[in-house]
Amino acid sequence: MGFYIIIGLISLISWLVSQKLKNKFKYYSTIQLQNGLSGKEIAEKMLHDNGIYDVKVISTPGSLTDHYNPLNKTVNLSESVYGQRNAASAAVASHEVGHAVQHAQAYQWLGMRSKLVPVVNVSSKFSQWLVIGGLLLSAFSGNSGIGFAIAVLGLLMMALATLFSFITLPVEYDASNRALAWLKTNNMLTNAEQDGAKDSLKWAARTYLVAALGSLAMLLYWGLQIFGSRD
């Protein structure tokens, strides 16, 4: 019973942090930059200041869909970030370029995460089904050996996703630190704008932290279900 309460609390916290992040970005989107630069222009300047000229800055549909793609070397900024000239767009644009800088400098944690991406993309689709299917097979067919093996396979896939979520943490925090340091060192923002960018990225990072904890909690839950059923 206690474990279900923990899962519920993590889910609630995740929702609250997500809502807080949306509200923060909405608020800081109203703070117009005195330098007049758009998210696209800030991203391009940060790239060039770091000696990176083979990465393109492009617009991508949606909200909070911003990301860096190391495969085709593109900084993808959502429409609201790409063309806007506010503290929120400055924070997001520079953060995504932070990933491009990591890539250019062969940042170890980014390399580890990139290697896990194709594996996690596959395992995340099947892991929970394998766990549930294995448990059901053990319960209804009487063939506990095969069912247990299937469930454990699913659990191992789930563990990879959990590992991925924790490796993501230093990658995201480092990208934010690089972004904020560049913005401050180059006097890109006023003090108020810098504080807004820092606050925005702080809440964005917390979404990754909560997601990692949620992934760990689910891994432990299913682990108890699998190995507890063997008693």
Q: Which of 153, 149, 147 is nearest to 128 (CA)?
A: 153
Distances from the Cα of 45 to the Cαs of 39, 100, 105, in angstroms?
10, 13, 17
Q: What residues contact 48, with CB distance under 8 A and at least 6 apart? A: none
Please pick, among 41, 96, 172, 193, the residue that the annotation labels catalytic.
96
For residue 100, what are its two tokens?
């491009």
172 is catalytic: no
Give the distance from CA 170 to its chain's centroid. 10
Distances from the Cα of 120 to the Cαs of 106, 129, 157, 163, 195, in angstroms?
21, 15, 8, 10, 35
Spatial separation of the C-alpha atoms in residues 126 and 136, rounded to whole Å: 15
Spatial separation of the C-alpha atoms in residues 97 and 17, rounded to whole Å: 24
Q: Is the dihedral of CA 48, 76, 174, 158 positive or negative?
A: negative
For residue 204, what are its two tokens?
């964005």
Q: Tell me which residues are annotated as active site.
A: 96
